[in-house]
Structure 1
């Protein structure tokens, strides 16, 4: 019974994604499509040439670089915040949660206009300001996905690794981070998507000089009236994230119920792989040393 339900759910999810894309796919290959014709009267690729001449390849490259920059800034900050929340290392978790939720609760236009004034007075370049503002928006996503992973992971992992001779940095890099790697990757992917798909902050703070794929799509949709070119730009903006997520899922990089590890091991001073579940508690180890 469980498998048919999963199949039906997967089919419905696929239809939810594919059905809205059908008109865009048809428009992207249409030369002329007049009402009330069900299909275009003439097919062609002129819309793709027009989109390329309008700067679509460079816009996609800028979106990719912007997404990577936002992820590079937001992911470490989110992991630190998630560690503090998941392991309850802060005395004021509600204050941390409030600080994380404020950028999401405010309208993007208000956040962009408010922080843009501060960044302009500081004298930061427009591109750097865009990255920082989008990182502020992306940090809550990385923080909460990381907090969920840290809440499932015992804080004793780090202490046990240090009891076996690892330094604090080695314990975090070789034991803690691998244990939460899947969720951290999800947070980084969400941060990348924030940078990739943003329109308001990039347009307002970038001043129209940073033309990414969403900015180009907005300009084409509002001013050109060329439906085939708009469809091509929309597809080019939509497909890369979908392909990226699909590849990560296919490679098993994103956490699923099948690839979430239940047991981990650390390397002792002698080079032996010791399962974490079999490690003695650091408190018991200290007691044994005293006796």
Structure 2
């Protein structure tokens, strides 16, 4: 029964994601679609050719690189913060939570404008500034997701591994991290999506030099008048997040974190302890 509910929930989530894509999918394959026709009168791939000519492949690669860079910076910081929150290792959790909420509460446009001035004065390259700002936005997501994973396991897990002969590094890498692996993967996915889908920070701080897929899509939607090309760009920008979220949801349903933790704990034990 529980498995059936999980499958039903996953199907509903997929439906929620896919339904908005249907008109975009139709437009991406349309050569001519005039009102009040229900379906396009002419089908073709001119929109995709125009999108490729406008620089869509290069923009997608830039979005991919930006998403990976943001995830690489914000995920470790979020995991460390999540460990503190999930295991209640601080006397001032409300202060930590308040600091994490600041990037989410303030308007992104105002934050980008203000920090852009500071970063220009410091002299950081535009690309580095974009990555750092987006990592700052992503850290609350990675921290809260990681905190959920740490809250589900006992603080004693690391102590037990240490008692069985593991070094602090071995205890974290072989026992603790496998136990929260699912939460860390979701946190990294969320951070990647922050970098992949951002428009405001990339446009303002990047100074128009970093043309990612959302920036290219925004420019095309505001002035091209080519609906098929805009739809092709939108579909190419939307599909990777949808695929990643679907894979993450399917992986989450399979689970297995505690088994990995148990295996890691066994590996840290001296041979004589395991054979007693």
TM-score (norm 1): 0.87
Matched, 1:142 2:139: no
Q: Which aligned segments of 4 or more residues in structure 1 are displaced greater than 4 angstroms? A: 1-11, 271-274
Q: CA offset at residue 111 of structure 1?
A: 1.2
Name the SS of the counterpart of 1:256 in structure 2.
helix
Separation (CA, whole Å) in 1 of partners of 2:238 and 2:7: 25
In 1, Cα distance between the equivalents of 2:272 and 2:186?
Answer: 32
Q: Alignment length, in residue pairs?
A: 271
Asked which structure has the greater RCO (Cα within 8 Å, sep 6+), the reply is 2
Unaligned segments of structure 2, at least 5 residues: none
Q: What stretches of structure 1 of length at least 5 have no aligned partner?
A: 275-291
SS at match of 2:258: coil
CA–CA distance in structure 1, aligned partners of residues 151 and 75 of structure 2? 17
Of the two, which has the highest radius of gyration?
A: 1
Q: What is residue 264 of structure 1 aligned with on the other side?
A: 262
Structure 2 CA distance for aligned equivalents of residues 8 and 247 of structure 1 = 16
Q: Distance in 2 between matches of 1:6 and 1:150?
A: 23
State the partner residue of 2:217.
217
The C-alpha deviation readout for 1:232-277, integer Å capped at 9, x for no partner, is 0000000012222333444x3xx33753426724131227659xxx
* Cα distance in 2 for residues equivalent to 1:3 and 1:159: 34
Instruction: Render the CA deviation track for 1:196-215: whole Å, top value 9, x for unaligned.
Output: 00000000000010000000
2:181–2:257 CA contact under 8 A, matched in 1: no
Confirm whether residue 59 of structure 1 aligns to residue 59 of structure 2: yes
- Per mean C-alpha deviation after superposition, the further-off stretch among 256-265 and 67-76 is 256-265
What residue is the counterpart of 2:22 in the other structure? 22
Paired residue for 2:46? 46
Distance, in Å, in 1 between the alignment partners of 2:258 and 2:209 is: 45
Give, in whole Å, the separation in 1 of the partners of 2:272 and 2:73.
35
C-alpha change, 1:7 and 1:40, in structure 2 (3 Å) is: same
Q: Shift of the alpha carbon at 1:21?
A: 1.3
Describe how 1:143-222 pairs up with structure 2 within 5 A.
143-222=143-222
- The structural deviation recorded for 1:38 is 1.4
* Aligned position for 1:33: 33
- What's the secondary structure of 2:94's corresponding residue? helix
Deviation string 1:110-165 (CA, Å, 9 cap, x unpaired) is: 11111111111110000000000000000000100111111111111111111111
**Equivalent residue, structure 1, for 2:241:** 241
1:7 Cα deviation from its structure 2 partner: 5.9
TM-score normalised by the chain length of structure 2: 0.92
CA distance in 2, matches of 1:5, 1:241: 24
Change beyond 3 A, Cα 1:11–1:180: closer
